[in-house]
Structure 1
Amino acid sequence: MCRSIRTLREPYAEEVTPADIEAAALQYVRKISGFRAPAAHNAEAFHAAVAAVADATRTLLDQLVVRGGPAPAARPAPDGR
């Protein structure tokens, strides 16, 4: 996997923004597909993959429990609620 992808989970990242998640998802899809930018006929599949990876990443980060940290339900939602 690409070494330049930042670790987004606690304690390595104090705050993870939606932009951080989108950037990581885009970098992952680029790496897997081999395309920096897809051709027009592949754009829909490429962008759908980025969205799916970003959703999976949000779910993963929301559900991870870091030893010594608060339980997932105790953490504030990404939108601050």
Structure 2
Amino acid sequence: MVGLLSMAGVLAPVAHAQPCDQTVGESIDAYLNRHPDVRAELDEKGRQEDPGAPNPALSYLERHPNVRQALITLSQQCV
């Protein structure tokens, strides 16, 4: 739980919001590409919960709607 709270703190501020013409998936992917530490944490948590997942971060987000919602909220912030 502490890891999720710290991740939420990392996800909250957005220095470089995405343009409004991106899909949610594109915006989330762009955010994770700019924050490889967050992607690595999601990948690690996903591998722990589902070792055979082809995309551990996506697998984790599908099982944790609260974290997924934080990423969706980020994706809705426009420049």
- Return the structure number with greater relative CO, CA threshold 8 A, min gap 6: 2
Give the structure with the larger helix fraction: 2
State the structure with more CA Rg.
Answer: 1
TM-score range (shorter-chain normalised) is 0.3 to 0.5
TM-score (normalised: structure 2): 0.35
| TM-score of the superposed pair, with normalisation by structure 1 | 0.35
